[in-house]
Amino acid sequence: MDIFQMSLSASVLIVAVVFIRALALHKLPKKMFLVLWGIVICRLLIPFSIPSRFSFYTGIDIVKRMFAERTAVSSPAEMTSIPKMMSMPGTAEPIGIGASAASISPIEIVWLVGMCACALFFIVAYIKCRREFKMSLPIENDDFITRWLQERPMWRTVQIRQSDKIKAPLTYGVSRPVILLPKKTDWTDEVRLRVILTHEFVHIRRFDTLTKLVLAAAVCVHWFNPFVWVMYVLANRDIELSCDETVVRTFGETIKSAYALTLIGLEERKNRLTPLCSNFSQNAIEERIVSIMKMKKTSLIGMILALALVIGLPAVFATSANTAGQADDQEPSVRRLVLLRGANIDTQTVRAMTNHPVMSIFDQATGKDRISWDEGKTWTTVGWYSYDEYKTWLEQEKEKLQAVVDYEQSLTGEKGRTVSGDRFVWNQGLMDEVVRQEERVLRDIKNGALVTKSIDGRDVDASMLDDDDDVMMTFAIENSGFKRTW
């Protein structure tokens, strides 16, 4: 699964979370949204997926299949038959879908450059801020602050300092967190101080600084995806909302209006100095105030709904469609196959055929594909080799070939000499070449390639020298990200 696929599937999840957030922000516990964003982050940064038959993508596959089957019947034939040419196994060369499979594509370079630029921006901003924050001064002779800190022992040492360069309280540092208060804080207003400090303390306890760094990392990796930026903004807001929620729970509902007023007071100060970004943050602060004032004990229904969402949403959107050899799923799925290689088919022909992917309907119940070379006019049923099957066959084949080679050598008396004439003669070199190719096929299978075992019920002779009608062919599922290993 490459980065673009990860980005795409996470986008669907983000849209779902944004939708729920817009509908029920004030009705559901805010922590739930943090859990949902956490799932989105996992989806964005961890390159694996859990197959599920309830997946959204299984649904998409079903729709796609219905659509494909309907159009398949009416579309004209593009390909007629499989061209076949003889080629000696010794001269067969590896054939790739794209020549540059191993090197980096231009799109990947653009992505890397964007990611570096984005990371650089965040790192420079972070270092600059940190340098300023480090110039903060200790708060001297304030009994309340000292007492407050002593009441809350933590295994990380927490410092409270002041600075004349910031307008609103903030927290920085992960392992040695520092709460920074503006110099102009009213040190005598203990109620307000207590609320502010508790808010920052909740941030520290929850490692929110670290969370914000992870969010920034996700944005850097997926900088090209606008949905991820939306997530970045909203998740940062939800961190604050959830923190507010905890503070109000701690102090009781009576503090709500005082707390909201404190926030408005802080925001006023901020906005006067940065009028340019006031519009955006105005929106955010409004959301915060409304959220605080509307806060009440979460109802049982709310809790159940939240729980259902946290479990259900990822199950539907964060999993991938259940495909590829899952015999328990009865739904057939449509896919397109690209010819990688075929015994007795030369490179040029394969390249030409690669441009016309073969339509296939995969029946998970039988593990077989029905493939059509002519866009749905005629269908053949193809069975595939499993890794173990091919491996067993290969072992037997090796023994057989060795016996032939040994026999030929005993006839000629010399090792490795080809006898000229009409008769094709095996020698050790030829055998090694054939075995090497067959081992490549084995590696292909391991990497997800499909190798024909039977066509319309007839077993295909897997040896490279077969010139029967049913030649062994290696396919890759189109857009599956299949990479050849040589």
Q: Which residues bind other proteins (CB under 8 A)?
A: 131, 134-138, 159, 163-165, 183
Nearer to other proteins, 136 or 364 (CB): 136
CB of 153: closest distance to other proteins in angstroms? 20
How far apart, in Å, are the Cα atoms of 438 and each of 192, 392, 425, 470, 473?
A: 76, 12, 19, 17, 12
53/134 with CB nearer other proteins: 134
CB of 138 to other proteins, least distance (A): 5
The count of C-alpha atoms lying within 13 angstroms of the C-alpha of 315, restricted to the half-sphere facing its C-beta, is: 8
Q: Are 364 and 329 in contact (CB under 8 A)?
A: yes
144 vs 387, beta carbon nearer other proteins: 144
Smaller CB separation from other proteins, 27 or 183: 183
Least distance in Å: CB of 263 to other proteins? Answer: 25
| Sheet with 159-163: strands ordered across | 137-138, 159-163, 178-182, 170-172
Nearer to other proteins, 5 or 159 (CB): 159
For residues 329 and 322, the answer to whether their CB atoms sit within 8 Å is yes
In the complex, least distance from residue 134 CB atom to other proteins, rounded to whole angstroms: 5
CA-derived radius of gyration, the chain: 32
Residue 60 or 135: the one with the smaller Cβ distance to other proteins is 135
**CB-nearer residue toward other proteins: 136 or 171:** 136
Give the phi and the psi of residue 98 in degrees, each rounded to 5: -125, 140
- The nearest distance, CB 163 to other proteins, in angstroms, is 7
Q: Which is nearer to other proteins, 93 or 140 (CB)?
A: 140
Provide, rounded to whole angstroms, the least separation between the CB of residue 135 and other proteins. 4
Minimum separation from the CB atom of position 151 to other proteins (A): 22
- Shortest Å, Cβ 180 to other proteins: 12
Q: Is 475:338 a contact under the CB 8 Å cutoff?
A: yes
